[in-house]
């Protein structure tokens, strides 16, 4: 892989990515972490249906913690592979940095903050989904239809495209947000996580509301996230997905029984 990049960040610090063995080892380690998370996701999906996803359960701290933990594992499986270009480039820049931090710590901090933000996003998802499940079947179906339409509209919005550009351009992101030291790693991980969350939140809401976090939907949304971020013309993939959500939401509003089909015919 090549390493022809600007030598300095806007703040003046050296920014000299070098794709060496350490960077490759970092990428392999992150892929192994994602693979372990995928094993857990698949194992969980092959077991009994999650009662929390198929029927109303009152809000409890224990259920909330269990949901957030499960959400964190799923986000690690889904989001970490498509974040590898950003994390790998950040790891590559560290060879040219002079830092008091031990080697590998900046990348570990960056990755940990990124995954922590995605994990904590499970808390509002849990609250929102519990509220949605408390609705009557008809209101629930119309709620899912509204979510699909809202997600479709967001996929077509300028905000989506702005966040997606930051995710699709690791070098541009690092040049615009570069910081040194431990605080720099924390800030970079936080900023990238927020851009990524801003880019993908609508897809995750659809995964929970319309897909009941079923394995087929997890695989589909993971593929969409990766395609948007990694493939050429990913912005058009985002727009096409938005159009599909709009059509699906409109159909669900007209034919509420379609929601049962989307959610795997689980009883509500």
Give start and end residues of each alpha helix (H) in 121-180.
Answer: 122-133, 137-155, 158-168, 170-177
pLDDT band at 95 (very low <50, low <70, confident <90, very high): low
Rg of the Cα trace of the chain?
20
In the block, tokens 């800030």 appear at 187
What average pLDDT does this structure show over 185-192? 94
pLDDT value at residue 12: 46
**Cβ neighbourhood burial of 183 (10 Å; 0-12, 13-18, 19+):** exposed
Partners of 8 in the β-ladder: 14
pLDDT at res. 100: 63
Model confidence pLDDT, tens digit, residues 3-26: 334 444 444 444 444 456 667 777
Note the pLDDT of residue 97: 59
Q: What is the pTM of this model?
A: 0.85
Mean pLDDT of 52-76: 87
| Number of CB atoms found within 10 A of residue 248's CB | 20
Q: What is the pLDDT of residue 13?
A: 47
Share above pLDDT 90 across residues of the chain, in percent, rounded to a whole number: 61
């Amino acid at each position: 892989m090549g390493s022809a990049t600007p030598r300095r960040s806007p703040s003046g610090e050296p920014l000299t990515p070098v794709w060496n063995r350490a960077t490759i080892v970092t990428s392999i380690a992150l892929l192994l972490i994602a693979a372990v998370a995928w094993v857990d996701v698949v194992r969980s999906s092959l077991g009994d249906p999650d009662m929390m996803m198929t029927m109303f359960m009152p809000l409890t701290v224990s259920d909330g913690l269990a949901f957030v933990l499960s959400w964190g594992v799923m986000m690690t499986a889904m989001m970490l592979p498509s974040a590898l270009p950003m994390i790998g480039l950040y790891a590559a820049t560290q060879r040219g940095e002079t830092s008091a931090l031990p080697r590998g710590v900046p990348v570990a901090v960056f990755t940990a903050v990124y995954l922590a933000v995605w994990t904590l996003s499970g808390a509002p998802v849990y609250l929102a989904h519990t509220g949605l499940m408390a609705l009557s079947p008809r209101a629930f179906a119309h709620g899912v239809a509204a979510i699909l339409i809202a997600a479709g509209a967001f996929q077509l919005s300028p905000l989506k495209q702005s966040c997606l550009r930051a995710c699709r351009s690791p070098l541009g992101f690092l040049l615009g947000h570069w910081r040194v030291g431990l605080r720099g790693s924390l800030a970079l991980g936080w900023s990238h996580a927020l851009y990524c969350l801003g880019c993908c939140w609508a897809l995750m809401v659809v995964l929970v509301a319309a897909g009941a976090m079923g394995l087929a939907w997890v695989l589909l949304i993971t593929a969409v996230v990766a395609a948007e971020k990694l493939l050429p013309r990913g912005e058009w993939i985002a727009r096409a997905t938005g159009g599909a959500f709009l059509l699906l939401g409109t159909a669900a509003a007209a034919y509420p029984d379609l929601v049962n089909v989307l959610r795997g015919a689980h009883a509500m």
